[in-house]
Every structure is written in structure tokens, then in C-alpha cells.
Chains A and B, each alone.
Chain A
């Protein structure tokens, strides 16, 4: 019987990952056509609208960029942990912790000059995200507690904290009893670069470049990659694993926290329940598509931002928002699926007696 089977390629296909992403996009577009037809829309019209709204003119680019900023930082946070084989599923909560810390600074420093206020807000955001990651980091480094679970659970803590603040102590007295925190003072807002694209673009780009260089070219990053490839080898060469785990997870949380601070100061007017808007979870997808390489995060975040903005824009044409979510899901499916084929080839069982490096190889 000839059964199809996946067999490991000796070398991954060159350019496999961009190719995979492109294929994923293509698959999503094709599925989308069927989906839109079934829902009674005109696919071409919808697609051109999506393109125009996300990449059609400077205003559209600004929207996409503003979306890509938190996605990229959150993706970077996940990728930093991922380069060492750790999973930070708590970026969502760390973004909120960062936003809370930044909002607090804005409350107490309302009369500081803008540049100092913004700098202090961002520093506080970094600290807030780092503090939320500290518990899971310590538990993993000292006791071996699985960081996936602890970081995930702290997301709940962070969102409840935001809810409590905006329903309670930080509620805006002028909000007619809506659960809203007060507006940020004007000088606490990040300046814009063009259209509505804000200064966070430069911050995010700088942080991504620094992190990529650090992971690729420094001794610190080298140790990180060694530890991510083989723990035993790291121990053998005298790298302290627990110290590494601790710093990497806290750093990951700090970067996510920065995303929260930038988002608060750049696009949101005030601290709200939806300040993170799922960026932390989308960041996991961004990092996965970038193969956990900090250097790949920027491009993926931009594309992902465009898909999200485009997806939102078609709601005005009467397309349900779930359709755009489904499209995003198919981009992911397609990209990950195509990624598999860049590393594995399909063979038929009967004629492959010699190449037996199967998936089940252990």
C-alpha cells in the first residue's frame, strides 16, 4: 500500500519562510473568495477595499503601522523568550501591566514637560511588564515551574487589575459614570511622524534592531542560543541556566510592557479594558511566523497589521468582522502549513525504503 508520508529534507528549502508566508496569504485569499461568495459579497470589491484601507495611501499606511507597532513589540517579546525555547504566553497581561504603569506616571506627572513625562511613562511601562513576568521567571528558574501556565494565568490577573482601576480608583469623575480612566494630558502623547503614524514606530524599530543584534552578535545572545539548542550543552560550557531563564523571561515581559506603554501613549487616549486588544496573543503568532527570530518580527508584524486593518475596513461594506478573523486564521494555517513543507517533503511509502527519517524519529 502506498501511503503519503512526511520525510525530513536534508536542507530546508532556501527562502522557505517568506515563501511559506506568501503561500499562506494566497491560500487565505482563495479560501476568502469562496467564503465571501457564500456570504453573498463580491470578493474582488472587498479585496480591493482591504488593500486600499491598509496600504492604499499614507493614511492607510499610518493605520497599518500603528497596528504593527504593538504587534511587533509583542512578537519580539515572545521571540526573545522563544530563542531560548521558553514560551511567554503572558504578553497580553504584560502589555496591560505596562499600560497601567505608564498611566500611573501620567497621573502623577501631569505637569512635567512632555519629553520627560513620556520617557518616564515608557520606563515605567518596561518596569510594569517586567514585574509581571518576574514571578513566572523566578518560578521557572528556581523551581522548574512551567512558564506557559504561569504567564498565561497572569493575563487574567492583569485584566482584572485594569478593570478594577477603571471601575474604581481611577474612574474619570467626568465620564458620566462610564468605566473610563481620565484622558491622558496632551503632553503625554507620542508625537506623530506622518498622517497619524506615531513616534512608536521608531521606538519599536530601534528595540527590534537592538534585540536582533543582541541575539545574533553578542556573547549574551550566543549563550541564549546555546541554551535554546541544548540545555545540557549550556551547562557543560558553564552557562548558568537559571540566571539566563530569569533574565530572558523578565526581558520578554519588559518588551511586552513597553508595547503597552507605547500603545497607551501613541494611539489610546486613556487606559481602557481593551488597551491590549489581543496584541499579546497575536504576538505569539507573529513570533511563530518569524521562526522565533527577533530579526523576522518586523516584516511579519507589518503584514499582519495590514491584514487586521484591511479586515476591519470591510465591516463598513457589511462584511461581518468574523470573516476578517477567519481570513487571518487562514493566513496563519497556510503559512504554518507551507512552512512544514519547506522542511519536509511528501513521499509515498512504498518507494522510500532508504530515507527513513520520519517525523516520529526520536
Chain B
């Protein structure tokens, strides 16, 4: 989408508008060709008024504020976008700011509008409103590309759907009217190239991690998940399935202690850790494999050794110093045991490939002999070997009595290696399945909204 909007340049292939090939060098080129984009992170200036933001980049040399405000409000009215053009932007809610972004593109008279996950910042009633606005613009003859993880929105708003997975088109231009939501859901979660073999069933022990009516907010202050109650027992892998963006990432962060919960409680090994620090949780046996490996789990500018000792450097001190030989020996051990291929242990970690990064991170986390592992999308973006290696490591841990939560978008992966499967949608658990007997269809159905808790679109 960034290529369409002129932010990135394509490596290959061409883009045609009305049959003419186009090459965009920057977003202005794209806008001139009639393509505008509403990014997930808004590109607006808080201290400017609504009208000033709308004309940003296309302003005439002399600004006549009153007239611009009048024109902006006419444009807004035409499409039912209710905003006051003279109000400073910082006073607006996220939903209103999004309208300003849309107005900005309409002002340039774009014929193609790209909206990147526009509903993640909106309250349910604002989502309804956005649907109406988009419908109005479509009736006006404009094309709209609506990017979303949420199926009910796609089927409520769109005419056709194209499914992308890992950079490839899985299905294109499916007419929504005649397409089953279940079918769409399956296309989205997809099948993986290869997975580890299904582990031998074993008898899980007592609960190691217990969630009791746990709730938390997302990055934008809206509820990410609420009232989650479940437990993970020793020696089992609990899979959390669902389309991304339904509260899974926030759930993992809350369990790891990186995001505060707003209600409910969390306990590990029988003791309450709802308020405990991430460090305390780790010491009590919680390992966390975050979704954003380089951003949350690793320090990209530091060396492989520095990254390897992140969990143990406190034990490798003499006085204030970190013992270099001990650190290096530890790093070598992790690298060998977990098959990290790297030439230079003092080189920056960013030089490692995705698979090797993940082996190092997982190895480091597992080395602490955890009793609970939270793995968020641990195999995403890895090659076939990497996927299998990580899965086998997790199974090995489960066999030795560790409680594992595995969050994944890859349904087949979960159906193979999980002992129990929970489906998350809109921040709620929509169903629990036994992966040995559940069918993809059943699970896929649960990934859809049941229509009660969310919007009426």
C-alpha cells in the first residue's frame, strides 16, 4: 500500500492507472495521479486548525483562512464528515482526526482512497459512521481500498475482498455478497508450509498460569481485551488462535508485565503477579518471546553477546563489572545449543537473519528453565527449518512440564502442536477446542464476530 501511495518505490512490476503505467517518486506524485492514503499513524499537525491540516501540502501561496474554512466545511458536508474547520486539531478525538485525514485526501480530489486499518482507532459507533461515509464516497464514484483484520467490517462495508498473506495474494476480488465469511477467515489464517509432528498426548499437571477476569487497554486507550478467564496447566500448550489485532498482542504484553491490566487478576504458580514487575515475573519462571523481536526482546545496536546475556548479566558480575569471559562463554553456549548461525559474536545483532535472531531469543528465554512460556507469533516470518526448530523447542518444553501459551495466526500450526485451542476475537474468548478433534471450519467460525459484542455493521 505504501508503494501505491508513493511512499516506497517498487522493486519490480508496474502500476497502471486507467490503463496507463505510472511510477511514483513520492506521495505527491501519487496524489497527483489521484491516489491518497490514510495511514494508521495520522500525518497531521496538532497545533494547526482542521482547515489548515486539510490544505497541508496543497495550500495556495496566500492563505485566506475564512474562505478555506468555508470550502473545507462544504466539502465535509458533502460527504457527511462532521468536523469544525476552525477547531485546532489537538482538541479532536481520534475518530474526528481520521475524518480530517479523509478530508485531506478528498481536498486533493483523489479518486482512489486507501485506508490502512482505519477502524483500530475508532469506537464502535464511529466505525458505523465511517462505514456510511465510505459508502457515500463510493456512490460518488470513488474507489476505496479498505485494509482490515476484522472480517465483519470487511463484509459490512466492502463490495469485494482481496486476501493478502505474507506478501502474497491468496485470493483476489472475491465478491462479498456471495462469499462465505468462513471461507474468508480460512484464507486469512492460511496453511503453513510445514510444521512439526503432532506431539504425543501427555497428561497435564496443575495450573501454572491463571487469568481471572483480566482486562486491559490497547495503545489507543480503547479496550483491547476484557474479562479473560482461563488457565494454562503444566505440560500443555494452549494455542490462542484468531486474526491479528483482536487483543492477542496486548494479552501477551500483560502476562509479561509490559502493559498494565485494568481489572482482574493474574497468578503464576499460585501466587498473584498482577502487579509484579517484568523482572520479578522472569525470576519466578516466566519466559516471554515477544512478537516484535528486535523492538522488544533484543537491542538491535548491541552485539550478539550483549543480547545473549540480557537475562543473566546480573549473575555474571564481579563487583560492578560484567565478566567478559563468562558472558562470552554463556553466549557461545546459547549459540551452540540452539543452532544460531553467526560468524562474529561481537558483531551487531542486526546482522543476523530472522531465523537466527529468533533462535537466539528463544534460546535465551528457555535457558532460564521457565515454568511458563508466553510465545507471541514465535514462528512468523521464519523459513521452513526455523519454524520447525522453534516448534520443536516449544514441544520439548511442554514435554518437560512447562506451561506454554502460544499465540499464532497460523491455524494449522496451532491445530498441530497445541493441546488446547482458544479462539480470540474482539478481545474475547470465542471458543475452546480440542485440536485433535476440531475442524478448521469450526475454529474458523469462532474467529468471526458473533455480532453481539461489536458493531451492527
Contacts and interface: CB of A to CB of B under 8 A. Distances in A.
The yes or no verdict on A and B being binding partners is: yes
Given A237-B311, A353-B12, A226 B302 contact: yes
Interface string B294-337: 11111111100010011101100100111010000000000000
A214 B319 CA distance: 12
B320 A226 contact: no
B298 A230 contact: yes
B277 interface: yes
Nearest to B295: A232
A219 interface: yes
B426 to A, nearest CB: 25
Contacts of B309: 222
A229 B320 contact: no
B322 A225 contact: no
Contacts, number: 77
Given A226-B302, A238-B279, A353-B11, A217 B297 contact: no
B453 interface: no
Contact of A222 (B7, B258, B298, B322): B322
Given A10-B351, A236-B288, A236-B290, A226 B299 contact: yes
Given A219-B317, A238-B278, A232 B296 contact: yes
Q: Give the interface size bracket for A toward B.
A: 20 to 34
B282 interface: yes
Candidate in A225, A226, A354 with the most chain B CB atoms within 10 angstroms = A226
Contact of B302 (A11, A229, A354): A229
B297 A218 contact: no
Contacts of B8: 356, 360
B9 interface: yes
Interface in A237-295: 237-238
A192 interface: no
A195 interface: no
B310 A226 contact: yes
Interface in B1-17: 7-9, 11-12
A225 B313 CA distance: 13
A124 B291 CA distance: 49
Contacts of A217: 321-322, 324
A236 B313 contact: no
A233 interface: yes
A222 B306 contact: yes
A219 B313 contact: yes
B278 A237 contact: yes
Given A217-B322, A219-B322, A235 B258 contact: yes
Nearest to B317: A219
B394 to A, nearest CB: 19
Interface string A198-241: 00000000000000001001111010011011101111111000
Given A353-B12, A354-B11, A218 B258 contact: no
Candidate in A218, A235, A236 with the most chain B CB atoms within 10 angstroms = A236
Nearest to A227: B299
B310 A237 contact: yes
Nearest to A349: B9
A233 B321 contact: no
Contacts of A235: 258, 278
A121 B309 CA distance: 41
Interface string B179-194: 0000000000000000
A225 B290 contact: no
Given A222-B313, A354-B11, A236 B256 contact: yes
Nearest to B309: A222
A83 to B, nearest CB: 11
Contacts of B279: 237-238
A225 B302 contact: yes
Interface in B260-301: 277-280, 282, 288, 290, 292, 294-301
Interface in A3-54: 10-11
Contacts of A214: 320
A238 B351 CA distance: 25
Contacts of A225: 299, 301-302, 306
A10 B299 CA distance: 18
Contacts of A360: 7-8
Interface string B129-154: 00000000000000000000000000
A233 B310 contact: yes
B321 A218 contact: yes
Given A222-B306, A354-B11, A233 B299 contact: yes
A2 to B, nearest CB: 13
Given A217-B322, A218-B322, A222-B322, A232 B310 contact: no
A219 B12 CA distance: 47
Given A220-B320, A230-B298, A233-B310, A238 B11 contact: no
Given A222-B313, A236-B278, A229 B258 contact: no
A156 to B, nearest CB: 24
Contacts of A10: 351
A217 B294 CA distance: 23
Contacts of A232: 258, 292, 295-296
A354 B10 CA distance: 10
A218 B8 CA distance: 42
Interface of A: 10-11, 214, 217-220, 222, 225-226, 228-230, 232-238, 353-354, 356, 360
22 contacts: A217-B322, A218-B322, A219-B313, A219-B314, A219-B320, A219-B322, A225-B301, A225-B306, A226-B299, A226-B310, A232-B295, A232-B296, A233-B297, A233-B310, A236-B258, A236-B290, A236-B297, A237-B310, A237-B311, A238-B277, A238-B279, A356-B8
Given A217-B321, A218-B322, A237-B311, 10 more contacts: A217-B322, A219-B322, A222-B313, A225-B301, A226-B302, A230-B295, A232-B295, A236-B258, A236-B296, A356-B9
Nearest first, the 5 closest Cβ-Cβ pairs linking A and B are: A238-B279, A229-B299, A229-B301, A218-B320, A232-B296
